[in-house]
Each structure stands twice: as C-alpha cells, then as structure tokens.
Structure 1
C-alpha cells in the first residue's frame, strides 16, 4: 500500500518543473521572474469546518466528533491562526489601496496681518486634497499580489490548524480507549491472581501446598494490583490531556467517556489501497507553502520596481473666505499638480540590497515548499505502510489471543483439580495477558494510522475520483 511509481514520478516531475521555472537565476534583474507551478487541488473538506468534524462521524463513536468540535472551539492555536488571518486580510486591503488615489479633507481658520500695510483679517479655508502615485513599473501591483498570496497562505494555515487539532484530539481519544481496555485487563488479572493467592494460602495452611508456593501466589497478586493501579493512573493522565484539549469540565467529560469505556472507535467502510499523488495538493500546509513562494516572488518584483523612478500627481480644490475691516473676499481655489518625478540616484546600495534580500527570501520559501512536498510523501507512505502492516497482523494476533486464552482456561481447570502447578498457571496467565495487550495495542496502532493518514492528506480525502489536474499560475507582473 503505497504511492504508485507513476504517482511518485508525477511528484518528481512537479518538483523538477518548479526548479526549472523558478530557479534562483530567474530572480536576477536581467531575467524574467516566474512563480512556481503549484497544485490547486480543492481541500477534501472544501474548507468547511463542519466537513472536518464530519469526517470523524464515519467512526462508530459519536463522542469522538463532539470532542473534535470542542477542541477546535477552545484551541489557542486556532485562535492565533484566526488572528493571523485577520492581519493578512487587513494587509491585503492596505496593499490594494496603494493603487488608488488618496483624498484628504482639510479646514483651517486664522486671524492676523499677512503683510505690512494690510488690515487685520480673518481667513477661513476648507477643501480637498488628492494625491496619486502612478504605478508605471508595477511595484504597487506586485505588493498587492504578495499581500493576496499571504492572505491565501493564512487561510490555508487556519485550515491546517483545524486539521492538526482534530488529529491530535482523535489520537488522544484513541489512546484513552486503548488505555481503558488495558486497565480493565489489568483489573481482571489482579482479581484472578487474588483469588489464586487466597486458595493457595488456604491449601498451604492445611499442608496441601508448600509455604514457598503460597508466597509466590501472594507476590503475584501484589504485582498485578500494582500494575492495575499504574494503568489507571496512566488513563487519568490521558483524560487530563483531553480536558486540556477541549476545555471541558473534567467531571462532565468523565460522564460522557463512561458511556463507552474501553471501546475503541472503529472507522466504517474506510479502505485505502493507494493514494493518487495529486491528493497531496489537498494538504493545507502544502498550499500554505506554495502561496508563500508566490508571495515571495511578488515581493522580489516589488523590490525591483522600487529601483525605478516614482511619479506622483497631486491636486486640490477648496473654498476660501477672508474677512477684514471694510470688506470680504470669498471664492474657490484649485490647483492641479505638481506632477513630481523622483529618480533614485544614490542610496549606497540600499535598494539593490533589498532586491537581494527579497531574492533570498524567495529561495528560502522555495526550499521550504520542496521540503514540505517530500515530507508529505513520507507521511502518506508511512501511514499506508502502517495500515497495511496492522491489517496483515490482525489474523495472527487474533489467533494467538484465542489460543493463549484457551490455554489459560484449561490450565486454571487443571490447577483447581491439582493437576497443574502454580508455576504453570502463572506462565499461562502471563502469556494470555501479553496476547491481550498485543491485541489492544494492534487496534490502537491501526486507528492511529487512520488518524495519521487523515492528517497526511490534509483532513481526509475523496475516493470517488482523481482530484483535478494541476494548473500553472503565472507570477504577478
């Protein structure tokens, strides 16, 4: 169960196109800049928070979906992502405003004598002043494109935070149910060993068992009780983790958890043999990295445009009135201009350094995107391998559990009849307990692999058909 060779070849090809279309050399002033070819596959949950929680409704445990909802509502990580999204939205608005003229209103009132020989006068002026920087070299447009890409990255980051919180909550819930199953097993084992110890001590008291055998039975019972207490404490620790994730009252949460104690949730009718390579484009973190590359490419263009002349146009219109002894003057005033041109002549290399810095940030974003792509492939491959491994081991684990438990029942019957020693009974009990623990751990491992695959594919996936083909995105110019 892995990505097919053709799928992996597609990934490598995409990375190669990215390297060719957006190489560091393409950022030099004498060559045109180009944004990378990115995948724009829709998110599997279509960016809908309800769909993210709805994926967990496929499991046969409704409490899991409710806990995911609660965790997302209380997560400080999501709150921080929401704040970054609001900041990016405001930055895009500000960047877009640079392309439009500005208009300011002003009003003034003064009294005095402007020149010798003139009367004292009261002067009142109210008007509007307009200004506009002509974006002839595309600097403002590139800034707006960069801000738009940063906003898209922030949106993808918000979705990624939701998926991460959901996966973390699901992993904790699965761990709790597995811990409860192990705790029940430990409690049953401790009860059984206590009964054996009591019977052995009675037999030793009347001379049918040696004192050493009674001591062994008592030690075994004490060991089982200690293990049961330790397992219960571990489960309490996992409950504390769920309380921290969901911000629910611990007593209320414990009441909800008690309904399905020690029952691991099971996914309903979920089967994945392979994952198309394009499905990786659904990951919000990959989308975020891709938008960061686009933003960095646009920022390079903005830095280059800053090395060219700036052209601004200003104008004003106002109404003025002057009152003085013996008369009044009133009328409209207006100006058109100046049309100003600012040409960089000498800045000690500041603007060139800013272009170099923007190019370096582009290289950094590009490297991060490539690294995220490789990490995504590894995570999906690992999850599929884990699913395949747990499916392959399930039959043998079940057979081993059935066999060891049957052996334990037979040994217990023989021990009661005096045909088996306590040593044989303890050995059979240890084997059965180990097989039961391995079975529970296998179920937990399989569920964890499902959660890992959910996270690796960006919050679920669509198995009805292949995602849409990737489309190239041209750089802002």
Structure 2
C-alpha cells in the first residue's frame, strides 16, 4: 500500500481553502424615495427639437444650433487642463489594474552569474591530496537559470485587489465624462451670458444716443430761451448717466470675453473676430429629446456611476484588509544550468529546486490588521453615504432645472408684451415732448421704463437658455454606462 506524501495533502488543502475566497456580502445601496416616483414633480419642458437634427456638434453636446458655440466647446474640450488631468488619472488607474492582475500570476526572473577564484592547495603544499585528488589552483564557474515565485491567492486577497483596481478605473473614466459635461456646460453658459450682455449693450448704447441728442437739443433751446435751465440740466444728467451705463456694460462684456478666451485657449483678437458676426444674438432654444423617468436618470449620470464605483472599490478594499488577517502561502522554485572548471575539478549539469513552500500565519501585531479592517469598513460606509447623497443631488438638480425652465418660458411672453408696450409709450412720449405736450421728466421716465423692460426680456431669454444647459448637465450630458472616454482632437484656432 502506497503512502500519500505530506506535500500532496497540503496542496489538496490549499485547493479546498481557496474555494473560501469569496467577497463579503454587503447590502446594496437603496434608491432615494424620489427616484421611485412614476414621474417628475416639476413641469416637463416643451418637446422642442433642434432646427437641424443632423448638424455637426461636439460629442455629448446636443444643444444649440450655433456653429461658433459648438467650435468653442470642441476647443475647450481639446485643450482643457482638467480633462488632460482626468485622462492621466485614467491611465494611472489602468496601470494599477494591470499591476493588480499581475499579482495573481507567478513571477519569473532570469539570472546569470560568473565567478573566477583561486584556492589554496592541500596541506603540505602538494597539489594532490589523498587519492590523488587535487584542490589547489584557479577555478571558473558559470551559472544561468530561471527563478520563480508565486503567492497563492489562498483567501482571495489578489482577487479583491483586482476588483478594487477595476472599480477605480471605472471611477476615473466616469470622472472624465463628468468633467467633459461640466466643461461643455460652462462654455455654453459663458457664451449665452456674453450674447445676452451684447444684446443689453446694444439697447444701452441706443438709449445713450437718444439721451445725448435730447441733451444737445435742450442746450440749444435753453440758450435761445425756449427751455428752462433746469430741463437742460436734467437732460445733461440723463445723458451722462447713460454714457456711464454704456461703459459699465461694455466692461462686463469684455470680462465675459476674457473668460471664453481662458476656456477655449483661443487668442482674444481671433475670438473677437468670430464673435463679431452674431453679436447680441442669443442661440435658439434647443431640445433634449424624451425626458427619462427619475429611476432611469440614475443610470445616465457619470457622477452617479463614479460614486457607485467608489462604493465597489471601498468594498473590495475592505475585503482585502480582511484577507490580511488570514494566512499567506507562497511557493518558489528555480531551474538552470551550472558549469564549474578548474583546480583539477570539472562539473557541468542542470540544477533545479522546488520550494520553499512557505506558510505565514499572523499571530500578534498589536491589533494593526484588525484596526485596518475596521477603517476599511468605515470607508465603505462613508462611500455608501456619499452615493446616497449623490443620488439625491442628481434628482434635485433635474427638478430644479425643470422649474427654472418652466418659469422662464412662462415669463417670456409677458415680458415681451411689456417691452413692446413700454417702447410704444416711449415713442409717443418723445413725440409729445417735441410738440411741447410732455415734459422732459415724462420723457426720461418713459425711456427708463422702456430700457428696463427690454433688459428684463433679454435676461429672461438668457435664463431660459441657461436653464436648458442646466437640464442638459443634470441629465448626464448624453453619457451612457460603459462608454469609453475618447481623447478629443485638438481644435484649430481661427486665423
């Protein structure tokens, strides 16, 4: 009867114990109550569609049929330091995943050595000892071989490390998408604000020209004795106030231009040439297509996916720290060829070894491993809480964007009517003032009302366009799970 070697029994126990290397079961994150609703509580936006659905737009940017805005978004995405840093984080996470996967494979190294040595002869100065076997002289030895080591994943530590690295890679990829969407929204908002500022500037300049003409005529009339000096002073004050408003509005527009220069990395003269063609014209209202249900939204936002990946990474880290409390098993070995010649002794042949098979058992570490495990579990709880917060914030952002979009759309017709009415009143008052039937104070009041009404109309148009951008961002910017980040091509700077 043959006896089973002790090493075979030990190897069998390794295989059986390896079956215990399964992740720790943890309860999944629960959806917020608002995500389980059958519909959004805020009014849905109108089913507007872009005027040209096939128009070329940057990836993930379906808004506005404005070629210049689309080019600015492309330029910002191509040259953004934040996106470049996000790409670097993806590359680092991918390298970390490759390193974690390599931990579960045997590690093999090639080594070679050579040695030349001289030894003393046997006692008595003779080169030959008893039996004629010599030991003195110079000897040469060479050895070449392969040496391997393998840490057996006895309790799933390597598998947990791979899961954590894979989750961190997904987190980095989702972070890149979130940064891209945020950048597109930032460029769009800055562009909309600039166009609204230009529209306000056009109105302010027109008002300043009208007031300057009135002041000039009032001065002439006062010198001729037909107008009271107080009215002429009022006209001069109104003209000066309007000129100051023009300079303030121009400074605001210049500041917004410089913000776009920073975002797009275009030169300011080139950007101003591009902006000159459509100055004061806000892009048309876009459409985003069907609005997803609350529960569907959570699968369309990269920040939500990044938070989920953070939870998965924290869970894998917690599993990894638990494995550190378990025994570790490693196996080594080598194979090679050795040649030794000299001193009357020649030897050549293959050499190999299997082992050592090392089992290390943690006995006492002062509670370090247990503390690390407790800290990892606390980190998992923190990541889970942050995921809950991200889910709730995502739902709130959509509801808020829908409210802002509905409010601006409802206010625009009333403000349009108010602007038309105050403009008609201004023209009538101006005609009456020229005929001597209205005072200069009446004309100044009519002008102020008309200017404020036009400004309010432009502002609500800006708010509506900005609300579309906010809704686009809160819906995830067209991102889908599993979408691989793409490096944006460098957009050309205009001549």
Do Structure 1 and Structure 2 share a fold, with TM-score over 0.5? yes
Which residue is equivalent to 2:115?
Answer: 110
Q: For structure 1, which segment, 55-64 or 401-410, has the greater mean C-alpha deviation from structure 2 after superposition?
A: 55-64
Q: What SS does the aligned partner of 1:223 have?
A: helix
Deviates more, 1:260-269 or 1:341-350: 260-269
Matched, 1:318 2:336: yes
Deviation of 1:264 (Å): 0.6
1:238 to 248, 252, 256: 256
TM-score by length of 1: 0.85
Indicate yes or no: 2:180 matched with 1:162: yes
- Residue ranges of structure 1 left out of the alignment (5+ in a row): 1-30, 40-49, 468-477
Given the superposition, is the C-alpha separation of residues 114 and 161 from structure 1 closer, same or farther in structure 2, using an over 3 Å criterion? Answer: farther
How far apart are 1:268 and its partner, in Å?
3.5
Whole-angstrom CA distance in 1 between matches of 2:192 and 2:84: 25
- SS at structure 2 position matched to 1:314: strand
CA distance change for structure 1 residues 107 and 302 in 2, over 3 Å: closer, same or farther?
same
Q: Distance in 2 between matches of 1:51 and 1:379?
A: 28
1:137-148 superposed matches below 5 A:
137-148=155-166
SS in 2 for 1:105: strand
Question: What are the within-5 Å matches in structure 2 for residues 328-477 of structure 1?
Answer: 328-460=346-478
Match of 1:81 in 2: 86
CA shift for structure 1 position 394: 1.3
* Counterpart Cα distance in 2 of 1:152 and 1:52: 26
Which residue of 1 is the match for residue 28 of structure 2?
Answer: 36
Q: 1:115 to 1:246 in 2, by over 3 A?
A: farther
What is the CA distance between 1:75 and its match in structure 2? 1.1
In structure 2, relative to structure 1, the CA distance for the partners of 1:433 and 1:460 (3 Å cut) is farther
Larger Rg: 2
SS of the equivalent of 1:332 reads: strand
What is the CA-CA distance between 1:111 and the residue it aligns to?
A: 2.0
Q: Is the 8 Å Cα contact of residues 56 and 64 (structure 1) preserved in structure 2? A: no
CA change 1:456–1:115 in 2 (3 A) is farther
Distance, in Å, in 2 between the alignment partners of 1:407 and 1:371 is: 52
Contact residue 314 and residue 338 of structure 1 kept, 8 A: yes
CA apart distance, 1:418 = 1.2
1:60 corresponds to 2:60: no
Distance 1:373 1:270, change over 3 A: closer
Residue 326 of structure 1: CA displacement? Answer: 3.3
Root mean square deviation, CA, Å: 2.2
Report what 1:71 is aligned to.
76
Q: What runs of 5+ residues in structure 2 fail to find an aligned partner?
A: 1-22, 32-54, 123-134, 482-495
User: Counterparts of 2:436 and 2:453 in 1: how far apart (Å)?
Assistant: 26
How does the TM-score come out when normalised to structure 2?
Answer: 0.82
State how far apart, in whole Å, the 1-side matches of 2:291 and 2:333 are: 68
Q: Secondary structure of 2:455's match?
A: helix
1:98 pairs, out of 100, 103, 121, with: 103
Kindly tell me: are residues 131 and 273 of structure 1, through their superposed partners in 2, closer, same or farther at Cα, counting changes over 3 Å? closer
Residues 240 and 290 of structure 1, relative CA distance in 2, 3 Å threshold: same
- For 1:354 and 1:51, locate their aligned partners in 2 and report how far apart those are by CA, in whole Å: 52
- Alpha-carbon deviation of 1:208? 1.1
